[in-house]
Structure 1
């Protein structure tokens, strides 16, 4: 069944070219309605009833979904081409409308989730003046316990909720499974006449709860508290904030779906080898503390992970992958936007990357009350802004975008975003990528109009390429596309996941400990010759080789080599092999063996006299044979007795 595009100019507030959109999208289009959601709702109902439709309006999507449900038809796909394209100071936005429709039609990948159950066990922390009234309002909905942080002179006589005092020493866990440890715990003694009293204090008490309402106004119990599900904070001095928190936490009873944002392939992780720590990027950057070491790899707690995506953009090996949605789907969205925009006659598009909340609201307010977005600026909403790293930036430019702007929200983690922008700039993006850190919709629009009007045409002379593979492969291919004439390595910022290993030949003894511990196989040996070889495109710059080297002969150089030389093996150090004095087989390094002979022969008890120093100059097989056949072989036994035969037996009887 062919999809039909249903159009509306929203009370004549935007210009929609029906014929041009139909040609650009390849979809049959309805006439341009003026009030599809109200006066022309019958037309929408007929279109939904007759077939598969795409409605060019996202504001009234709930109304059209409700209408489809009444007609027992599938919910229509609703696309916003008004706020993001039609409401603009620029003129014709047909090319951008076509691109937005094409991108919206991509089938979204399934999202992995896990069920989380909350039974409503709630701990309220704070002084009595705010904690007790909050407990009174929640007592009918949740099973409430109040941890008082001030004096206990006025204990409530109500038994609708529990009251305790104590020192909260540790809080762990997340929504549905918090664990708390308290010292000096005292609980209410409900019996007796007069005011309630408290039990004697005791240390080391542990308790569980599903929800925490923190009204203390002190240091949060968790890092990045706004990202910890089930943990709500409110200013104890703001009645409005407390009321909002009480209302929100009252809804957190039942079974909920928690998105699984990440996948972790432990065998790719370059955290450590043999107890030597290398990469710690995810541990350092995670705002919620969801990562922890686990042997040579790391582990992530999916219940604590808030899905900011910074770890996936910084992971050098691709062991951590953002999976909600996968990177491949994001790359497909970028490619679709660029291809559809150009196919509809547009040129030099710019990509505006924003989050799904703050950024979308900024665009909507600018469109409704200001200049809107320029006609050549295409917005791209992503669920994890910090996860839009250098690979995605380079992919956008290699797909045909003339520039990339990233619009952070007030709570966005700017450090990883800033670093990834710097890394992308060094790998071919240059000055075509920027952090659009503005406070108002008008400031956003003004910056975009000024930027696009001054953009150089030379930024669009790159033929778009098809990008495939993981993030590392996408980044390499895109960077090579953006630097076609670059035939030497370019320097990268410190900590970049690309680079070379430099070896001091005067110090290196070719012990090859670095080869055995290299997590990516970038360092290799030669089974036939004493050689240390290196393949640059595989190097993660984790630093384990430099840490483990006993001679401190290894240093790292962050850089990117766009040539094919990065994918070939080259020799970092080599020496002449030593040949066994018995069989002539090559083994070991000549300089090392000669040094050992000079150090031990005639000077060590095991290698003094009787030719024992010759053992050092033998290969493994010959050394074992020589040890076995020598006169004082400690492994030798007495002479093997002759086999006794039948003739021996009868001869012995005759002798007797």
Structure 2
């Protein structure tokens, strides 16, 4: 944590309580500057040289970085207090919000894991000949360019870049590792006076690092804007083409690809024994980076764009966001809430944004009303990582309301689904804001009615499911059963006892052990807290006896096993040991005894009512038993062989 805050009121345009900040955060503050980036630049240099300081200004961060380089000192972190708290038309106290933002900035966030991606600049350009060849001429000195033509255009009389002809049938991969398949593939023959094309052939394959798609046609990949290395532009819009060409020219070298999602296959509830269960991640992934892999799923890290939708919807926690990890987000939420309340604030509201929302806040602060004093912004890399568990954790930590500001590229259907679930559990205390105008954003926040926050905040810990339950119990302490929308990962299993035969197929497939048996009695047991509502038990049930009820049971009974169905056990007619289900044995006797060739004999029919041990014993001693052999032959010894030789 920084040991000093370098504060500036930006020419007197904001109010900063240095003494209050020091008391609330435990960090000493510098004197209150007014022009740290201009006339007081020497003070900034001294603070940077001293180290262990945080400069409370991000507008001039590049200036401070340049200054640090000149004096040979490491650049201290920068924190934006002005746009997010200082510049506001709200006359309320801003000290609690500033204290919360400072405390959050002091948290250590683990660095995201990554892998290196190498692009050597092999670029494939698609599109009409005039546009594609023009783009190739601009890139020929920077990239290794190949232009794919698909019409009868005469080949260009140049060897500065490659030209081929054919139909692109398939493309896969991402930056640095694209694979393409071409039909009617023809290469250019540059010999002779008139250049010509080779004979066409199907199934031509090649690799490239970058694809520049200027066809204006259907994109080659789902969510094309999220596929790294794949650039598209409308061939009829010259500025767009120029932008795409410029972007392509920069994609040479070694790049770090973050590993956004952590996968724990053993927790996955996708399928068991050929039966499909949960498909949330497969259905929602915008880039198709997730694919089935046996009973589990696998993620292609090169295609994954890190939207975080799969981690929010995964019921088991098999997929979790790891850039940074989920627990660091929970710490940020709890730190913001606890510091705000400790500094004297009441009923704070959380505004969740990404970089787009951060810019909206800056515009609203400079040109409009800014944010209300009780609205605390939380900026994330990916909005979709903020699901129902995070919303409920924020409400339990002391936030009165949670708003998520919609942004381009975010999956709104995921946000809508998670907000609906959070509101069903937490009581309508979160919303999705969809504003592209900063003034409209400010008006919506200033005009909102703020409910009371939790009087006794809690700090839930554990997995996202555990956090959800702990937060829900804090928000609804009477331990009620909350009805939930359909297709949620919480609920009860309902069994039609008149149809269930207690075959226990559902128990063998349940991925979490929510369904269990009793080794001593024919019983089907259920622990509601562990149920993911994945669908595997309903899909495998041969009697279609299983249905679901989406709900969150906050009673302690949800943490222990209850009996869903039980029947009288069958007692062995020989030894009295309990085995199987009496009703099932009776049905088998009714259908087989005296009616099936193998059970015409009454003694054979009696075996149906025997336990395993007695049945084997009875089969062994029955007349003409297939298990009964003749007398064992006498063991022959060495003396037997020698005596036989003497006799001869």
Whether these two folds match at TM > 0.5 is yes
Q: 1:503-518 residue pairs with structure 2 within 5 A?
A: 503-518=495-510
Could you tell me how far 1:655 is from its partner in structure 2? 12
Matched residue, 2:556: 564
Q: 1:315-464 residue pairs with structure 2 within 5 A?
A: 315-355=314-354, 357-428=355-426, 430-451=427-448, 454-456=449-451, 459-464=452-457
SS at match of 1:38: coil
Q: State the alpha-carbon separation in 2 of the partners of residues 479 and 518 from structure 1.
A: 25
Check conservation: 1:58, 1:78, Cα contact below 8 A. yes
Check conservation: 2:348, 2:375, Cα contact below 8 A. yes
Q: Does 1:95 align with 2:96?
A: yes
Q: Deviations over 1:440-467 (max 9, x none)?
A: 111101000001xx213xx214311121
Q: Deviations over 1:400-423 (max 9, x none)?
A: 000000001122110000000000
Change (3 A) 1:654 1:172: closer
Matched residue, 2:165: 165
TM superposition score normalised by structure 2: 0.97
Matched residue, 1:468: 461
Change (3 A) 1:654 1:409: closer
Matched residue, 2:622: 630
Q: 1:119-158 residue pairs with structure 2 within 5 A?
A: 119-152=120-153, 154-158=154-158
Could you tell me how far 1:150 is from its partner in structure 2? 3.7
Q: State the alpha-carbon separation in 1 of the partners of residues 634 and 619 from structure 2.
A: 25
Check conservation: 1:81, 1:100, Cα contact below 8 A. yes
Matched residue, 1:186: 186
Q: State the alpha-carbon separation in 1 of the partners of residues 124 and 492 from structure 2.
A: 53
Q: State the alpha-carbon separation in 2 of the partners of residues 404 and 269 from structure 1.
A: 30
Could you tell me how far 1:68 is from its partner in structure 2? 2.6
Q: State the alpha-carbon separation in 1 of the partners of residues 644 and 270 from structure 2.
A: 75
Could you tell me how far 1:610 is from its partner in structure 2? 5.3
Change (3 A) 1:517 1:653: closer
Could you tell me how far 1:168 is from its partner in structure 2? 1.0
Matched residue, 1:482: 475
Q: Deviations over 1:618-656 (max 9, x none)?
A: 111111121122221213322123457999999999999
Could you tell me how far 1:608 is from its partner in structure 2? 1.3
Check conservation: 2:594, 2:602, Cα contact below 8 A. no
Check conservation: 1:3, 1:53, Cα contact below 8 A. yes
Q: Deviations over 1:160-212 (max 9, x none)?
A: 11112211111111110011111111221111113x22122111111110000
Could you tell me how far 1:599 is from its partner in structure 2? 1.0
Check conservation: 2:97, 2:376, Cα contact below 8 A. yes
Q: State the alpha-carbon separation in 2 of the partners of residues 527 and 635 from structure 1.
A: 29
Q: Does 1:111 align with 2:126?
A: no
Check conservation: 1:286, 1:311, Cα contact below 8 A. yes
Check conservation: 2:51, 2:74, Cα contact below 8 A. no
Check conservation: 1:462, 1:482, Cα contact below 8 A. no
SS at match of 2:579: strand
Matched residue, 1:42: 42
Query: Alignment partner for residue 523 of structure 2, among 525, 531, 554?
Result: 531
Change (3 A) 1:638 1:18: same
SS at match of 1:565: helix
Could you tell me how far 1:22 is from its partner in structure 2? 1.5
Check conservation: 2:350, 2:401, Cα contact below 8 A. yes
Which structure 1 segments of 5+ residues have no match? none
Change (3 A) 1:318 1:652: closer
Check conservation: 1:352, 1:377, Cα contact below 8 A. yes
TM superposition score normalised by structure 1: 0.96
Q: State the alpha-carbon separation in 2 of the partners of residues 553 and 313 from structure 1.
A: 30
Change (3 A) 1:28 1:575: same
Q: State the alpha-carbon separation in 2 of the partners of residues 350 and 654 from structure 1.
A: 108
Q: Report the count of equivalent residues.
A: 647
SS at match of 1:15: coil
Q: 1:218-237 residue pairs with structure 2 within 5 A?
A: 218-237=217-236
Could you tell me how far 1:508 is from its partner in structure 2? 0.3
SS at match of 1:13: coil
Check conservation: 1:398, 1:462, Cα contact below 8 A. no
SS at match of 1:79: coil
Check conservation: 2:454, 2:475, Cα contact below 8 A. no
Q: State the alpha-carbon separation in 2 of the partners of residues 654 and 325 from structure 1.
A: 89
Q: State the alpha-carbon separation in 2 of the partners of residues 48 and 384 from structure 1.
A: 31
Could you tell me how far 1:477 is from its partner in structure 2? 0.8
Q: State the alpha-carbon separation in 1 of the partners of residues 279 and 443 from structure 2.
A: 40
Q: State the alpha-carbon separation in 2 of the partners of residues 250 and 100 from structure 1.
A: 39
Q: 1:536-551 residue pairs with structure 2 within 5 A?
A: 536-551=528-543
Q: Deviations over 1:120-157 (max 9, x none)?
A: 100000001211110000000101011124431x3210
Matched residue, 1:8: 8
Q: State the alpha-carbon separation in 1 of the partners of residues 484 and 2 from structure 2.
A: 50
Check conservation: 2:577, 2:611, Cα contact below 8 A. yes
SS at match of 2:346: coil
Tell which deviates more after alignment, 255-264 or 598-607: 598-607
Q: Deviations over 1:490-515 (max 9, x none)?
A: 22111100000000000000000000
Q: 1:21-40 residue pairs with structure 2 within 5 A?
A: 21-40=21-40
Q: State the alpha-carbon separation in 2 of the partners of residues 282 and 491 from structure 1.
A: 24
Check conservation: 1:406, 1:434, Cα contact below 8 A. yes
Matched residue, 2:82: 82
- Indicate the RMSD between aligned Cα atoms, in angstroms: 1.9
Q: Does 1:640 align with 2:640?
A: no
Q: State the alpha-carbon separation in 2 of the partners of residues 176 and 102 from structure 1.
A: 40
Matched residue, 1:269: 268
Q: State the alpha-carbon separation in 2 of the partners of residues 649 and 122 from structure 1.
A: 85
SS at match of 2:627: coil
Tell which deviates more after alignment, 112-121 or 33-42: 33-42
Q: State the alpha-carbon separation in 2 of the partners of residues 374 and 47 from structure 1.
A: 31
Tell which deviates more after alignment, 291-300 or 182-191: 182-191
Query: Alignment partner for residue 617 of structure 1, among 593, 609, 633?
Result: 609
Q: 1:570-609 residue pairs with structure 2 within 5 A?
A: 570-609=562-601
SS at match of 2:38: coil
SS at match of 1:9: coil
